[in-house]
């Protein structure tokens, strides 16, 4: 029997041009760096054509000879088949029932390595297959790399965040192109107590070379392909010493855009939680694309190859334990209160919008300019915070906090990794990028966010307040649900799964219904440039009981923008003084 790994409705179609290489963001927080001792990774799946839904793949047993059809994750092309595993675990989007989770960001890398003839597995296939077959993050790294070596790698360079209830890893991988089958790669364990991240620029530089990959050795913190350095030397990509070899600098050479559009997003997360990063001007310069090439790197090691020397570290230690709420907030970052803050230049409009419509680069009078690329962006299809908790049974310990559309205006709803179906409002087939659905979570959240873009500094504060209220409510509910599910699990794991499913499905569907009512309220309150009076989320009448509102406020454009409005108009808009 042949069983497909992907359905076409899950295909990721990336936008062309600049956005193709700066499409996603991942943050990584280890167990020792969090306030509750959970492991967290995040993922924002960004594309102007991606529809946000919540995929589910049930656990299954397979017969000898069963095959999986592997479809290219972006264009839907059938790449080939591989043998099925005897048993596959259930997967909710990018987290499995064992609390193993994965995210990715694409960086492409050297053009000559971007295509591999007859390769079967692309990055999306690896992610799904890995989740279906792995109990731990280490198992997943081993499985993914062994599959690539056997069946080839069909896409460009990728960074992966891979986590379980105890560990978090970053793995970077690029195919061998036309030269050989397979890929070269490095995986590093993020030290416990530290945080990391990646955003469409390879981040692993130098690393301790290992003679063998001992997958059963829990003390081994680095894995890599045995030819990761020799392959580069063989084909002329690198000529230095093994000790100074940098994976990122060789396979994804750093350019201005790799810092300003990509690594700057990681910097913005790091600076939130680390004084060392926040107060070091060298790192700020790097994020803005201002490079140094000193004889020594930031850690004072030698720099014989002349690489950019003010790059950020791969990981940093937070000043204090990081909370779930801080991680969610980091996913909503627009470079506020940094030199790249978008709220105060003319592009923000009169309502201090931290958004810029694409394209990201434009030319005025022969000079090229840019729009910033922040973590929070309008074209996000969906995002998540995958939280793995070692002190609970796996189906209960894993929570896939899931949101659709722009992270700044989404609400992260708790989806337990042990659930057996998804909420109808988030389900595959409920609407599409070109098909409207009144019950779709994606279209409901888009209505609210796009309305907020029209007058951001007026409307978004209401979204932020309600968002915080709901996510606080969910974290409280999760504590109770954990306890009840754990008691059920002791008696009958299937009953616990049913309970977790009921909670997750109800929560997701109710959230969408509530958010739809919220949109109706916001639309009525802010229609026609006015602001009606309200109490909480209820619009007020004028006191006569006839559903007639009080005269609404008319805040206009604000004094600073009024000055901009009259620039270049001469006396055309001047009101004559009264005689």
pLDDT per position as a tens digit, 162-178 = 999 999 999 999 999 99
pLDDT of residue 12: 34
Percentage of the chain exceeding pLDDT 70: 96
- Distance from the Cα of residue 65 to its chain's centroid: 36
Whether 7 has a pLDDT exceeding 70, the answer reads no
Whether 300 has a pLDDT exceeding 70, the answer reads yes
pLDDT tens digits along 186-226: 999 999 999 999 999 999 999 999 999 999 999 999 999 99
DSSP 263: I
Q: Which long-range contacts (CB under 8 A, 24 or more apart) does 368-374 make?
A: 370/260, 370/261, 371/347, 372/260, 372/264, 372/334, 372/335, 372/340, 372/342, 373/22, 373/260, 373/261, 373/262, 373/264, 373/265, 374/265, 374/268, 374/333, 374/334, 374/335, 374/340, 374/342
How far apart CA 30 and CA 523 sit, in angstroms, is 41
Contact 413, 474 (CB under 8 A): yes
Beta strands, E only, 50-100: 56-57, 60-61, 67-71, 78-83, 87-88, 91-92, 95-96
Residue among 72, 13, 9, 18 at smallest CA distance from 47: 13
pLDDT of residue 76: 81
Given the structure tokens 């989740």, which residue do they identify?
131
CB atoms within 10 A of CB 229: 23
Whether 65 has a pLDDT exceeding 90, the answer reads yes
* Mean pLDDT score, 287-314: 96
Whether 14 has a pLDDT exceeding 80, the answer reads no
pLDDT of residue 284: 98
User: What are the backbone angles phi and psi of residue 49, rounded to the nearest 5°?
Assistant: -120, 10
Label residue 271 exposed, middle or buried (CB < 10 Å: 0-12, 13-18, 19+).
buried
How far apart CA 360 and CA 261 sit, in angstroms, is 9
- 413-416: strand order across its sheet: 315-316, 195-198, 24-29, 39-46, 380-388, 399-404, 413-416
pLDDT of residue 72: 85
End-to-end CA gap in the chain: 91
Strands 315-316 and 195-198: antiparallel
pLDDT of residue 74: 77
**Which residues neighbour 315 within 8 Å (Cβ) at sequence distance 6 or greater?**
28, 190, 191, 194, 195, 196
* Mean pLDDT score, 281-305: 96
Averaged confidence pLDDT in the chain: 95
pLDDT tens digits along 393-437: 999 999 999 999 999 999 999 999 999 999 999 999 999 999 999
Q: At 89, is the pLDDT very low, low, confident or very high (cuts 50, 70, 90)?
A: very high
How far apart CA 300 and CA 89 sit, in angstroms, is 45
Residues making up the chain, counted from first to last = 579
CB atoms within 10 A of CB 235: 15
């Amino acid at each position: 029997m042949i069983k497909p790994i992907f359905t076409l409705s899950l295909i990721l179609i990336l936008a062309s041009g600049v956005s193709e290489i700066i499409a996603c963001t991942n943050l990584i927080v280890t167990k020792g760096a969090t306030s509750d001792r959970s492991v967290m990774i995040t993922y924002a799946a960004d594309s102007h054509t991606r529809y946000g839904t919540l995929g589910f793949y049930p656990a299954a047993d397979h017969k000898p000879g069963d095959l999986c059809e592997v479809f290219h994750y972006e264009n839907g092309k059938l790449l080939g088949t591989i043998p099925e595993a005897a048993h596959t675990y259930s997967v909710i989007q990018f987290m499995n029932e064992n609390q193993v989770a994965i995210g990715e960001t694409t960086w492409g890398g050297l053009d000559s390595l971007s295509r591999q003839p007859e390769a079967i597995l692309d990055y999306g296939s690896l992610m799904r297959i890995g989740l279906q077959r792995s109990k731990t993050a280490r198992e997943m790294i081993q499985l993914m790399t062994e599959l690539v070596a056997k069946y080839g790698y069909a896409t460009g360079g990728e960074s992966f965040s891979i986590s379980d209830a105890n560990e978090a890893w970053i793995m970077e991988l690029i195919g061998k192109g036309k030269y050989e089958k397979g890929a070269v790669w490095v995986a590093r364990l993020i030290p416990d107590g530290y945080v990391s991240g990646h955003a469409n620029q390879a981040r692993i530089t130098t690393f301790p070379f290992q003679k063998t990959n001992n997958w059963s050795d829990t003390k081994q913190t680095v894995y890599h392909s045995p030819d990761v350095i020799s392959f580069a030397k063989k084909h002329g990509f690198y000529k230095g010493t093994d000790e100074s070899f940098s994976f990122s600098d060789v396979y994804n050479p750093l350019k201005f855009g790799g810092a300003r559009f990509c690594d700057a997003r990681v910097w913005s997360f790091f600076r939130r939680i680390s004084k060392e990063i926040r107060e070091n001007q060298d790192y700020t310069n790097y994020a803005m694309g201002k490079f140094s090439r000193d004889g020594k790197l930031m850690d004072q090691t030698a720099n014989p190859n002349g690489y950019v020397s003010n790059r950020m570290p791969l990981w940093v230690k937070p000043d204090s334990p990081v909370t779930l709420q801080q991680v969610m907030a980091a996913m909503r970052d627009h470079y506020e209160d940094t030199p790249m803050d978008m709220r105060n230049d003319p592009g923000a409009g009169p309502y201090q919008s931290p958004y810029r419509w694409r394209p990201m680069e434009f030319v005025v009078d022969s000079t090229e300019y840019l729009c910033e690329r922040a973590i929070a962006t309008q074209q996000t299809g969906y995002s998540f915070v995958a939280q793995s908790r070692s002190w609970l049974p796996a189906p209960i310990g894993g929570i896939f906090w899931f949101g659709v559309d722009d992270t700044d205006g989404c609400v992260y709803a708790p989806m337990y990794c042990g659930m057996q179906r998804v909420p109808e409002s988030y389900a595959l087939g409920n609407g599409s990028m070109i098909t409207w659905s009144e019950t779709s979570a994606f279209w409901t959240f888009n209505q609210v966010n796009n309305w907020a873009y029209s007058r951001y500094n007026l409307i978004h504060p209401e979204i932020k307040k309600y968002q915080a209220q709901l996510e606080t409510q969910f974290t409280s509910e999760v504590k109770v649900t954990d306890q009840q599910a754990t008691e059920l699990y002791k008696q009958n794991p299937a009953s616990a799964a049913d309970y977790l499913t009921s909670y997750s499905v109800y929560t997701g569907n109710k959230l969408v219904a509530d958010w739809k009512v919220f949109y109706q309220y916001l639309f009525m309150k802010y229609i026609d440039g006015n602001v009606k009076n309200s109490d909480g989320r209820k619009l007020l009448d004028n006191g006569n009981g006839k559903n007639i509102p009080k005269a609404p406020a008319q805040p206009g454009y604000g004094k600073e923008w009024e000055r901009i409005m009259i620039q270049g108009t001469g006396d055309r808009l001047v009101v004559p003084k009264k005689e």
